[in-house]
Structure 1
Amino acid sequence: MTTVVLSSTDLTLRPWEPGDADALAALADDEELRRWTSHRVAGPQDAVRWIATQEAGWKSGKRLSFAILMTGRVVGHVVLKRSGGEAYGEVGYWTGASARGLGVASRAVELLTTWAFDTRTGAGLSRLELIHDTGNPASCRVAQKTGYTLESVLPPRTPHEAEGHLHARERVTVRLP
């Protein structure tokens, strides 16, 4: 498994590590985060299991999960989910309370998207989708800021879920004359 680390001026995306368990447990102890995510982490032992699942995702190549670090501190999560050998994937993300409203999610999604579309050093995908609950306007703003176009409203998958927005972004290919 190749370790992928993506960096910008003030953000680093790197695979989750076992040493992140306490930070993850602290981030997950947030009512707002629990409101919008389907994965629950209840304490440090659960965080260790969650991180092991992320490591397994890297090994299979189907779920490439990154811890978002700001000034060396874990502040969130961004993931690229892939389906087999398909040329498309799905992006997901969340940020902890200390990083909300700072543009961290948008910058992390843009960094991951750029890498996912890179055909030389990245995943080389041609299409990415981003799905969020229609009741989450902050996620809608992240999608819009990062160039993901709203394509459709998805019906609830279960009686307890809300409708979703499907945003998508295509890799731009430049053809020279």
Structure 2
Amino acid sequence: MTVVLHGPPDEEGSSLLLRLWTEDDVPELIDAYRDPVMRQWTRFHVTDEQDARRWVELQRKGWNDGDRLSFAVVESRGESDRPRLVANVVLKGRVTGGNSAEVGYWTTRTARGRGIAGRALEPLTTWAFETFAPQGLECLKLLHQVDNYASCRVAQKCGYVLEEIVPARPPFLHDGHVHVRLAPQE
């Protein structure tokens, strides 16, 4: 299966490509998970090559099963620049014919504070609604812990409206925000 999405370029001309995860991403995935901030917000931790290969395989399985559609987000700053892994975005919990699904994301240390999360979340959101609204998808939910202020800003900038605060439950130590974005009306 091949699914490729493009995010809008930024002011400096850097472009984003959202594509399926591959074995070639293993070294950059390991490096991304060395960041303690990322480990703070994610449940599955990658510490070595075996973990990274298992993580990539879980993403592949998610596509095969149709319940976890995850994209590696790579950034290119120009024709001579080798694309670098900067993020992950995912559509999960979609049930065929169901009316809602969840989106999630993480960014690498070097990508934070540069608008990468929002630039990657927006094409994922558009693609999800274009692809699955005809099958009944009406809304996307974005969940984060209340103390993850950066994720809250990303959700708001991408048009995900705060719907409710949910109580903490393991493995999460803090209450959470649920943001929602409805499918565009035609």
Q: Does TM, normalized by the shorter one, top 0.5?
A: yes
2:177 matched residue in structure 1: 165
TM (norm. structure 1) is 0.92
1:56 matched residue in structure 2: 61
Taking only the aligned residue pairs, the percentage that are identical comes to 46
2:127 to 115, 118, 121: 115
Q: Is the 8 Å Cα contact of residues 87 and 107 (structure 2) preserved in structure 1?
A: yes
Shift of 1:3: 1.5
1:37 matched residue in structure 2: 42
- Structure 1 ranges of 4+ moved more than 3 A: none
TM (norm. structure 2) is 0.88
Taking the TM superposition and a 5 Å limit, the aligned residue runs for 1:61-80 are 61-71=66-76, 72-80=83-91
Shift of 1:126: 1.8
Amino acid at match of 1:79: V
Q: Please, which runs of 5 or more residues in structure 1 have no aligned partner? A: none
Figure out how many residues of one structure are paired with residues of the other and give that number: 170
2:27 matched residue in structure 1: 22
Distance 2:170 2:48 in 1: 27
Deviations 1:36-60 (A, max 9, x none): 1111111122100100010000000
| C-alpha distance 159-5 of structure 1, shift in aligned 2 (>3 A) | closer
1:130 matched residue in structure 2: 142
Deviations 1:103-146 (A, max 9, x none): 0001111110011111xxx2333210000010010000000000
1:46 matched residue in structure 2: 51
Which secondary structure state, in structure 1, belongs to the residue aligned with residue 92 of structure 2?
strand
Shift of 1:160: 5.5
Farther off after superposition, 93-102 or 9-18: 9-18
Amino acid at match of 1:105: A
Q: Please, which runs of 5 or more residues in structure 2 have no aligned partner? A: 10-14, 77-82
